[in-house]
A and B are shown apart, each in its own frame.
Chain A
Amino acid sequence: MNALDTTTPIGATLALLPELLLTGWSLVVLLVVAWRHEGERDSRFAGWLSFAGILLSLAAVLGMWHGDWHSEGIAHMVALDSFRYASATLILLLAGASTLLSLRYLGRQRLLAPEYYPLILFATIGMLVMAAATDLILIFLGLEVMSVAVYVLSGFDRYRRSSAEAALKYFLIGAFASSFLLYGIALIWGATGQTNLSLIAAQLAGGAPTMASLGLGLLLIGFGFKVSAVPFHMWAPDVYDGAPTPVTGFMATGVKAAAFVALVRVLDQGFIAQAHQWQPVIGVLAVATILVGNITALAQESLKRMLAYSSVAHAGYLLVAAWPGTAFGSGAVLFYLAAYCVTTLASFGILAAIEHVGSRTVLIDDLEGLFSKRPWGATSLAVCLLSLLGFPGTFGFVGKWYIISSVLREGSWILPVAVAVGSLISIGYYLPVITAMTFKPERTIDAHRQVAFSRAGKAIVAMAVLLILLFGVWPTALLNSAVRSARTLAPQAVVTEVP
């Protein structure tokens, strides 16, 4: 049927179809912006052009998913399974939404520069590769492609010191973390002679030598940095705060999604036999991340910084879902990623619309009386925050519910308690925002004059809110799809031993 032999050139090319399409398209966009970069109109044209490329790539992914393309034998380099397709769909949707949210923002905040949209596309390609890779080398390549683009994007606001500082910090610590990852890959190769996840699993089925364990530990550190797990999270608030808001949204969702799906694939496909070794690490990281993220978020006065810490806390919940290593747990990772990403991206989209031109720190107190002036915007933000909080009837609640039930199945009770306690603490910083918006009067007569939603921004936010409410009451189909996708992660049977 649609079986591809990924060892042949034609098979490998077809297997990378969405990535290749997007790469080609991004080169076209690069050429276009090299010639046309005069004003806001040109920038918006580039934005729409990039959006079209993302849609094209998305069509390829959906076509492969629908056509049930799979690999003959084990997947060399590139996976052809629904876990990849589901992750790629999510990543492309996030990239598309981020592109649309940027359209007006760049002009408004005078951030017009031709390279913005190509960089978004490059980062997206990196994320797609991470989601697809079944080989540690390819994962690393995807990660670096994504990271370099995101380093530049986070320092995009060249006129602000904080943005430049953020980019530099991100780059320094990122490079430091990448070296851990690369050294981990090297040790694993040294111990097993393999970089393909399924082949590694075959080698390590009977137990891991010290060298391989050390490599796994180093991998976990590298991924811990990318998903902003405590104690590797300290860059995240500074970088999220300094980057232009649509970029922050893209980083907090897309980068995290890509890192998590790659992590889950590495753990479930390559090191499932070592679960007893990595589970304690993941568990402790999860608890620490939940507690530190939530508690530090309490002390924030800036909305953006608060959301940054909250995104750290959510990485903790996702780690909890990654802990069981079962199809149900990894399905919960996918499901919660969808819930978290939709909600977080919409929150940052709303924040981008609220920001003043120039001075961009929005304090929570600045939102007072937003409801009476912009009822729809305030309501949408409230729905998003309630979903992040895990309020019943929202997407986020169902996500947390499934995380807890997937972990309970494996008999852990500390992790569910941590999730519950974390959610409880998070009430302390989500609800004050809603209170400020609804129950307090605006401070000045012309407060909230600056709030400007673009038409695309409105559409994105409205769609996100509808999804949050829809999946809050009707989650079954999505969850079943997530669990089915996660089932494809099991290590593939190795037929021929590669020497």
Chain B
Amino acid sequence: MTAPIIGLVWVVVALPLLGAVLNGLIAVLRPQAKSAVSVIGPGVLVGAFIMAAAVVVGLAGLPPDAPQVVRIWPWLVAGRLDVDIAFLVDRLSAVMLLVVTGIGSLIHIFSIGYMRSDEGYARYFAYLNLFVVFMLVLVLGSNMPVVFIGWEGVGLASYLLIGFWFSDEQNAAAGKKAFLVNRIGDFGFLVAMFLVWNHVGALDFSTVLGAPWVPGGALVTAVTLFLFLGCAGKSAQIPLYVWLPDAMAGPTPVSALIHAATMVTAGVYLVARTGLLFAAAPLSSAVVAGIGALTALFAATIGLRQYDIKKVLAYSTVSQLGYMFVGVGAGAYAAGIFHLVTHAFFKALLFLGAGSVIHAMHHAYHATHSHDDAQDMRNMGGLRRYLPVTWVLMWIATLAIAGVPPFSGFFSKDEILGAAFARGAAGQPIYYVFYAMLVVAAFITAYYMARLMAMTFHGASRATAAEREQLHEAPWSMTGPLIVLGIGSAVAGVLNLPTLVGGHAWLEHWLEPVTGIATRLSGFRPVAGNHEAVLVGLAVLVGVAGLIAGFRATTARALVPAREAAPDTGLARLVYHKFYVDELYERFIVRPIVTFSRVFLWRIFDQGVVDGVAVNGSARLFRGIGWLGSRLQSGQVGLYIVVFVVGAIWILRTILG
């Protein structure tokens, strides 16, 4: 049985592409035509979502172990290399398809209100549509080169959107940083691809995953480690996480869509997609889980002392991505994807809620001609009276991320914790360490989120009276998507309700045909029921304790606005400055490289050897020969005939041999 609707999956990609082209044209030709942009930009996304839903329904009607490869056109054919532009529609990409188009639609709609007054409105939507195109190519690609196109494309779109307000040099630098750090990761992806090509001779996932890899062999370990380097770059894991907090320089909906809900989860998706390889490489899997756990803990710690509301959320994203990597590293691929889905809801909600707060603060400052920082939580306080809808929704998201039942984050985070513990119990004690790190990180997460809520919405307002008069809730086009996300954050847990509470683990069963074999191969065994209950109880306890501690600690102190606040001292200062990691990178990596490239590569090698001798030298040489040739081209017919005859004699001599 075939479902013809699946063959139309290209429409899902084509619609945002059409939107990107149209909005791009409007941006160039008629930038003031904002109404058209407001219809086209979100419209194509909603259309894509509907189409994606239809495709997934079509897929659900098929036998579960029948991935559908939709060939669009043959692309590269050279010798043994045969790469099609082809889309893989299976149950894993179906989940991603719905997340990208669904959350994407909501964020596009939110953007109408948020970006309406910006001059680059059309350009913004063109970029945002373009991002969705590449993101869809990434999740749908049926072979590594096509995924890589999407991988690079989302990087490009992310670069363009981080530096959207490029006239501010800091934003442009942030875009550049994201781009450069991601290059390191891309290098890993490429090397992995070359290794696979060299070993398997094919690049499409079905052949690559089905190839005879030696379990635990050096080759599969190398491939997966290089792949993970790529994932660490894209998904902001240690040591390549440094670009993501800076990426908050972009518009807030961009942070929600690209740097929280979708693009940064691409690494998790890729590990799940190539799960069979990771399952055959226990060392790589342990590295994935270890880096994930370390990142989860480390980034959460930094989040404790940030004052910029978006920076807190940025580090929180890095930390949550760490959780997902522990899940896929432990072999619980479905759990990792589950957390990816719930995180997409609650983190998008947190960012958009923060956007709503920033929008209100910015509006108030704008009206009163104040130059305070609209993102600094020290300037906020007591906002729940002015932004009641945002307040309620942000609390839902906070409870979700803190892991309080029955909100979505509870179920997904719990599964990851359970998976780490189970691997420990299955004879790999190192996973107990990862588990402990995650539990501590869960406490810190609850703590910094409660701190964020308390500083922003509770206590006395630290805004001036004039500013307070200007504070108001955002328009419906912005609160509407927030409410939808709020519902999702609250109830998305039912997607994978564990059997412990009488659920059917629906998502896990749905993904079983894709990730089930890898999960079994990795040696993952779920923990027994009564153990699980204890673990769940502990996790809830930690989360609630963190929330209470964070809330009380924050409200106990009298806060002052940012311009009056004394700088932090001691440990707090170290954490506020993010453990000086950026400065360390700058001192020990960036500056030596820059110095080396400036002095040696540029001055000596490039300017001297390459430019001087190779390029200019050879150019001069060829130009000289060319000049000589032109002299020969004197316009004298007689000379032409002489050359002609010489050539003719040579030909006759050659052919008579």
Measuring CB to CB, which residues of chain A are less than 8 angstroms from any residue of chain B? 165, 169, 172-173, 176-177, 180, 210, 213-214, 216-218, 220-221, 224-225, 230-232, 234-235, 237-238, 277-278, 280-281, 284-285, 292, 295-300, 401, 405, 425, 428, 473-474, 476
Chain B residues 600-650 with CB under 8 Å of chain A are: 619, 622-623, 625-627, 629-630, 632-633, 635, 637, 639-641, 643-644, 646-648
Q: Beyond A295-B622, A296-B630, is A180–B654 a contact (Cβ under 8 Å)?
A: no
Distance, CA A169 to CA B640, complexed state (A): 10
Q: Beyond A172-B637, A176-B644, A231-B643, is A217–B651 a contact (Cβ under 8 Å)?
A: yes
Residue B78 is within 8 A (CB to CB) of chain A in the complex:
yes
Distance, CA A476 to CA B84, complexed state (A): 11
Q: Beyond A299-B623, A299-B627, is A221–B648 a contact (Cβ under 8 Å)?
A: yes
Distance, CA A279 to CA B148, complexed state (A): 42
CB distance from A296 to the nearest CB of B (A): 4
CB distance from A281 to the nearest CB of B (A): 5
Chain B CB within 10 Å, residue with most, of A218, A235, A295: A295
In the complex, which of the residues B619, B644, B652, B656 contacts A173, with contact meaning CB atoms closer than 8 Å? B644
**Is A234 in contact with B643, judged by CB distance below 8 angstroms?**
yes
Q: Beyond A238-B635, A281-B654, is A298–B626 a contact (Cβ under 8 Å)?
A: yes
Distance, CA A296 to CA B627, complexed state (A): 7
**Is A231 in contact with B647, judged by CB distance below 8 angstroms?**
yes
Q: Across the interface, name the chain B residue whose C-beta is closest to A237.
A: B633
Residue B529 is within 8 A (CB to CB) of chain A in the complex:
no
**Is A292 in contact with B74, judged by CB distance below 8 angstroms?**
no
**Is B633 in contact with A296, judged by CB distance below 8 angstroms?**
yes
Some 18 contacts from A to B, beta carbons below 8 A apart, are A173-B641, A176-B644, A214-B652, A220-B655, A221-B647, A224-B647, A230-B647, A231-B646, A232-B648, A234-B644, A237-B633, A238-B635, A295-B622, A295-B626, A296-B630, A299-B627, A299-B630, A300-B630
Distance, CA A292 to CA B647, complexed state (A): 14
Query: Which DSSP category, helix, strand, loop or mixed, fits chain A's interface?
Result: helix
| Residues of chain B within 8 A of A300, CB atoms compared | 626, 630
Residue B657 is within 8 A (CB to CB) of chain A in the complex:
yes
Q: Beyond A231-B647, A295-B622, A295-B626, is A213–B655 a contact (Cβ under 8 Å)?
A: yes
CB distance from A208 to the nearest CB of B (A): 9
Residue B73 is within 8 A (CB to CB) of chain A in the complex:
yes
**Is A217 in contact with B652, judged by CB distance below 8 angstroms?**
yes
Distance, CA A84 to CA B429, complexed state (A): 74
Distance, CA A238 to CA B639, complexed state (A): 13
**Is B651 in contact with A225, judged by CB distance below 8 angstroms?**
no
- Chain B interface category by residue count: 20 to 34
CB distance from A224 to the nearest CB of B (A): 7
CB distance from A233 to the nearest CB of B (A): 9
**Is A218 in contact with B652, judged by CB distance below 8 angstroms?**
yes
CB distance from A266 to the nearest CB of B (A): 14
**Is A292 in contact with B629, judged by CB distance below 8 angstroms?**
yes
Chain A CB within 10 Å, residue with most, of B626, B641, B654: B626
Which 9 A-B pairs have CB atoms at the shortest separation, nearest pair first? Answer: A299-B626, A231-B647, A217-B655, A296-B629, A298-B626, A234-B640, A217-B652, A299-B627, A295-B626
Q: Across the interface, name the chain A residue whose C-beta is closest to B77.
A: A476
**Is A295 in contact with B629, judged by CB distance below 8 angstroms?**
yes
Distance, CA A405 to CA B655, complexed state (A): 26
**Is A278 in contact with B627, judged by CB distance below 8 angstroms?**
no
**Is B633 in contact with A238, judged by CB distance below 8 angstroms?**
yes
**Is B656 in contact with A221, judged by CB distance below 8 angstroms?**
no
Q: Across the interface, name the chain A residue whose C-beta is closest to B621.
A: A295
Q: Beyond A234-B640, A425-B622, A476-B74, is A221–B651 a contact (Cβ under 8 Å)?
A: yes
Distance, CA A299 to CA B623, complexed state (A): 6
Chain B residues 104-158 with CB under 8 Å of chain A are: none
In the complex, which of the residues B73, B623, B644 contacts A298, with contact meaning CB atoms closer than 8 Å? B623
Q: Beyond A173-B644, A176-B644, A299-B627, is A281–B651 a contact (Cβ under 8 Å)?
A: yes
CB distance from B638 to the nearest CB of A (A): 10
Q: Across the interface, name the chain B residue whose C-beta is closest to A292.
A: B629
Q: Across the interface, name the chain A residue whose C-beta is closest to B626.
A: A299
| Residues of chain A within 8 A of B652, CB atoms compared | 214, 217-218, 221
Distance, CA A88 to CA B362, complexed state (A): 67
**Is B622 in contact with A428, judged by CB distance below 8 angstroms?**
yes
| Residues of chain A within 8 A of B622, CB atoms compared | 295, 298, 425, 428
**Is A173 in contact with B637, judged by CB distance below 8 angstroms?**
yes
Distance, CA A165 to CA B634, complexed state (A): 13
CB distance from A70 to the nearest CB of B (A): 29
**Is A214 in contact with B647, judged by CB distance below 8 angstroms?**
no
**Is B626 in contact with A297, judged by CB distance below 8 angstroms?**
yes
Distance, CA A112 to CA B626, complexed state (A): 37
| Residues of chain A within 8 A of B623, CB atoms compared | 298-299, 428
**Is A277 in contact with B648, judged by CB distance below 8 angstroms?**
no
**Is B641 in contact with A176, judged by CB distance below 8 angstroms?**
yes
| Residues of chain B within 8 A of A230, CB atoms compared | 647
Distance, CA A284 to CA B656, complexed state (A): 15
| Residues of chain B within 8 A of A281, CB atoms compared | 651, 654-655
Q: Beyond A169-B637, A173-B641, A428-B622, is A278–B655 a contact (Cβ under 8 Å)?
A: yes
